[in-house]
Amino acid sequence: MLNQRSWWPICGVALLLVAMFGCTPKEQAQLQTQVAGAATLAVKVATEAPPKLTQAAQIAQTAIALATQLSKPPTSSAPTDFVLVTSAAGVEFWRKDYQGGNPDFVEVINLSQGASVKLFHGQITDLGTGQGVYKGDNPKIARQPLDAAWNLFSSSYPNAFCITNGQFFVDKVNEQVVDPTTLAFPLKIDEVIVSDGYGSKEYVNQKLILEIWGDMANISALTEDNLYSSPAPNIIAGLTEDANKGPNNLTGRTFAGIDDKDNNGKSEVILIFNSKTSKQADAANILRSFGADKVIMLDGGDSTQLICQGTPYITSDRTLPQTIGVTNR
């Protein structure tokens, strides 16, 4: 059996790990040396346990594994002018500040490490059966504030990390807010095509789809065949980076990108860019600086909003019919 004294290194690792979760990245780095030392001593304690591991030794092994994981450097190749805000298993959240301006934010989501990207929408009030671009549905969807969407998301997923806006939609007609509203382009969730969208004649040859699987993602051209034949269970559509959405205006931007980090032919990393004031080219280039091979433009302007771990980073009064949630492992 482990004596009382043997518990100290195990408890030390556990307490340090708890402390790290509440610290800034800089403070976490300072604690990592202490974690490593306590973990080493915990290893010695664990190996002195009987062949049939005691509960204490099992706790030690779990703490050691967590300490090893947390003491590793970030997995992404972030530009040097970005600072890591926070991270969890499979996900990182980066920030770049500008003097007198608004910050840029980038989420790095590694699907191969167990992180995930979820697509959500508000309550459907009218299916719009057969009214979509490809004769599918074009439903009317109720809108909600992003903080309400976060509350629903985080209550359903304890490992909720961030939530942001997603799909283009009708915001106003004759200066009157449209709610419920319709989506401009297709949306597929859990193998069901929720909406074809209404934008058949808009941005010809400039529409894209982000296809999301459990362990990989892809960005390809939006066509009826690509949409309806795609095996991806989740799809959100958007635009090419050069589509005319006021490309040189400093306005809200939400972009996504994909990265085949391990060069195995499958893009296992999804990147999400958010900024309250950015140009289209700048948003795309920042994603590429994080390693993105392909990018897609999502809704922007006042739609661009971001909450991570319950903290609002980009806010707006605009309500949203569709959102993108990110979970860590």
pLDDT tens, the chain, 329 aa long = 445 444 445 545 444 444 444 444 444 444 555 555 555 555 555 555 555 445 555 555 555 555 544 444 445 579 999 999 999 999 999 999 999 999 999 999 999 999 999 999 999 999 999 999 999 999 999 999 999 999 999 999 999 999 999 999 999 999 999 999 999 999 999 999 999 999 888 899 999 999 999 999 999 999 999 999 999 999 999 999 999 999 999 999 999 999 999 999 999 999 999 999 999 999 999 999 999 999 999 999 999 999 999 999 999 999 999 999 999 99
Concatenating the DSSP letter of every residue in 58-101 gives HHHHHHHHHHHHHTSPPSS---TT-EEEEEETTEEEEEE--TTS
| Confidence at residue 60, expressed as pLDDT on a 0 to 100 scale | 53
Run of H or E residues at 19: helix 7-21
Single-letter amino acid, residue 308? C
Domain boundaries, the chain: 4-70, 83-327
Look up residue 7 and give its DSSP letter. H
pTM: predicted TM-score of the whole model, two decimal places: 0.79
Q: What is the pLDDT of residue 225?
A: 98
For residue 287, the tally of other CB atoms under 10 A from its CB is 24
Q: Which residue is associated with the tokens 């800034």?
A: 24
186 contacts 237 by C-beta, under 8 angstroms: yes
DSSP code at position 35? H
Q: CA 24 to CA 227: how far, in whole Å?
A: 42
pLDDT reported for residue 22: 45
Cα–Cα distance measured from residue 184 to residue 203, given in angstroms and rounded to the nearest whole number = 11
Distances (CA, A) of 290 to 26, 78, 114, 160, 281: 21, 5, 20, 23, 14
pLDDT for res 50:
55
Give the C-alpha separation, 94 to 140, whole Å.
35
